[in-house]
């Protein structure tokens, strides 16, 4: 596939192979963008912004609705692309494609809700002869950097609000999974988006990332990815808005009054969705000691049912990780935990990029697989005795994206939800539940700002005050 640059689809002599992690076959190739392409993209984006800011709200909304309709009409094609280039099974990929349609539709709706307010200037002496208001205006050029684990919907979560707000976008999709982003770019142009409004650059972040991030023509960076990359971006960015979702190490608290079977089944799904490569996936489960054994048995039972293998088969529950190298890393983290005293209750094996869904207990808090975001199909179980202990352990790490609580008692659920330090708490549900219209983001090392279409749109626009001095009032 070609990349979109300065209004044209272009190729380059140097290309990047996009490989299916299941069998390492080549799915397609994409251009390997250069520093010169970065300059071309940014210069074109400035022109694109002048076009975007003059588009009416109606026109922006129509483009978004038409793009959503195109994705809906080609749902299986988009789902196949997601599954082939990444880790998701075809069933998981279909769900992501449907969510993309929803995200774009919400973006069209929110484009019509960008509004300001009148300002009571006479609320302070000296303002009696002034009237006015503020309105929200586009911020300019938005740099969108997206990850491999949701290669379509997370692109939509950046492009949708940015375009709804009247901005231009330079999109840098993940090097491993650029095809879904390019197909969505095609859909936007087919829907009538002026080509200069969107630049989609494919290439290695190490070669083009720093130049994109540091350039003052970029007025906002919307980034989803790892903590280390996020820290580098903040050092390079200069004076511009930054929105970041940097992942987590999501804790779950299962209380003694929970529906233990439901909790076990839900947590297993939350831990192993997309081969565990999920920023809000379940990683640490703190279970009240009275129900620990029952929960342990249920977790092992549901994990044993998982069918791992070919992503394109309808009955496959979990596919490969994004690469054999990443699977080896997780395998090494498991081995290190075992060496430190942990026990494997289920899984633990690896074949190429396929890592078996793995359940661990007795994991030392010093182990990497406890302390860091694993971003792989493993989950750790821990018994706890009191609410205070559960909260202290759940909050003990420098992450805070999502958490979950399983309890049938409303008072307990409220107490635990209130005490958890994070951006969202799911009650009697997995940490990996997300509605595309809700505010989404974290605290501590989990990020800056909030996504979710309405909330991204606030980040991607700015208030502008208009004040009239009327001496005849």
Which of the residues are catalytic?
A: 245, 279
The rounded distance, in Å, linking the Cα atoms of 144 and 245 is 12
In sequence order, which residues have a C-beta less than 8 Å from that of residue 277 and are 6 or more positions away? 87, 148, 149, 321, 322, 375, 376
Residues whose CB falls within 8 Å of the CB of residue 302, separated by 6 or more in sequence, listed in order: 264, 265, 268
Going by C-alpha positions, the residue among 269, 43, 15, 21 that lies closest to residue 151 is 21
Q: Which two tokens stand for residue 377?
A: 């199909």
**Three-state SS for 469?**
strand
Contact residues for 119 (Cβ-Cβ < 8 A; gap 6+): 132, 133, 134, 465, 467
According to DSSP, residue 117 is labeled E
By three-state DSSP, how is residue 124 classified? Answer: coil
Backbone angles phi, psi at 169, to 5 degrees: -130, 135
Q: Judge residue 226's burial from the number of C-beta atoms within 10 Å of its C-beta, 0-12 exposed, 13-18 middle, 19 or more buried.
A: middle
Integer CA distances (angstroms), 389 to 27, 319, 386, 468, in order? 49, 36, 5, 58
Beta bridge partners of 285: 252, 381
Rounded distance, CA 401 to CA 365, Å?
20
Q: Residue 307's Cα: distance from chain center in Å?
A: 26
For residue 393, how many other CB atoms are within 10 A of its CB? 16
Which regions of 156-290 does DSSP assign to beta strands (E)? 168-172, 198-200, 218-224, 241-245, 250-254, 282-288
Phi/psi region, residue 274 (left: phi>0; alpha: psi -120 to 50; beta: rest), is: left
Sequence-ordered alpha helix ranges (H) in 55-191: 57-73, 75-85, 90-111, 153-164, 179-190
């Amino acid at each position: 596939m070609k990349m979109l640059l300065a209004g044209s689809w272009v190729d380059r002599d140097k290309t990047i192979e996009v490989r299916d992690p299941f069998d390492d076959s080549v799915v397609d190739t994409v251009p390997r963008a250069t520093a010169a392409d970065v300059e071309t993209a940014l210069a074109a984006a400035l022109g694109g912004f002048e076009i975007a800011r003059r588009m009416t709200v109606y026109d922006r909304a129509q483009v978004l609705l038409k793009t959503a309709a195109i994705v809906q009409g080609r749902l299986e094609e988009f789902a196949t692309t997601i599954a082939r280039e990444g880790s998701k099974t075809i069933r998981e990929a279909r769900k992501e494609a449907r969510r993309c349609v929803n995200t774009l539709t919400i973006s069209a709706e929110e484009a019509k809700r960008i509004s300001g307010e009148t300002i009571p200037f006479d609320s302070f002496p000296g303002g009696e002869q002034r009237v006015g208001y503020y309105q929200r205006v586009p911020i300019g050029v938005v740099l969108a950097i997206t990850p491999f684990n949701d290669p379509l919907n997370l692109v939509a979560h950046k492009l949708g609000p940015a375009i709804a707000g009247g901005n231009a976008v330079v999109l840098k999709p993940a090097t491993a999974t650029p095809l879904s982003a390019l197909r969505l770019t095609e859909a936007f142009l087919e829907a009538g988006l002026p080509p200069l409004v969107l630049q989609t650059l494919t290439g290695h972040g190490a070669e083009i990332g720093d130049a994109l991030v540091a350039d003052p023509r970029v007025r906002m960076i919307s980034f989803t990815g790892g903590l280390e990359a996020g820290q580098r971006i903040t050092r390079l960015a200069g004076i511009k808005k930054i929105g970041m979702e940097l992942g987590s190490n999501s804790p779950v608290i299962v209380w003694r009054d929970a529906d233990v079977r439901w909790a076990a089944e839900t947590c297993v799904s939350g831990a192993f969705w997309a081969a565990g490569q999920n920023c809000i996936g379940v990683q640490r489960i703190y279970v009240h000691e009275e129900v620990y054994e029952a929960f342990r048995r249920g977790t092992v039972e549901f994990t044993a049912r998982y069918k791992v293998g070919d992503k394109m088969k309808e009955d496959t529950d979990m596919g490969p990780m994004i690469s054999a190298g990443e699977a080896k890393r997780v395998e090494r983290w498991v081995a290190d935990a075992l060496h430190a005293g942990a026990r494997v209750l289920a899984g633990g094996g690896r074949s190429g990029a396929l890592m078996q869904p793995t359940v661990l207990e007795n994991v030392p808090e010093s182990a990497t697989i406890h302390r860091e975001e694993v971003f792989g199909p493993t989950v750790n179980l821990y018994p706890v005795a009191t609410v205070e202990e559960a909260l202290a352990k759940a909050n003990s790490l420098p992450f805070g994206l999502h958490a979950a609580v399983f309890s049938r008692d409303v008072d307990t659920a409220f107490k635990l939800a209130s005490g958890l330090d994070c951006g969202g708490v799911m009650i009697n549900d997995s940490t990996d539940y997300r509605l595309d219209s809700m505010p989404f983001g974290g605290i501590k090392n989990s990020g800056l700002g909030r996504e979710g279409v309405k909330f991204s749109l606030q980040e991607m626009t700015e208030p502008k005050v208009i004040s009239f001095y009327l001496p005849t009032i």
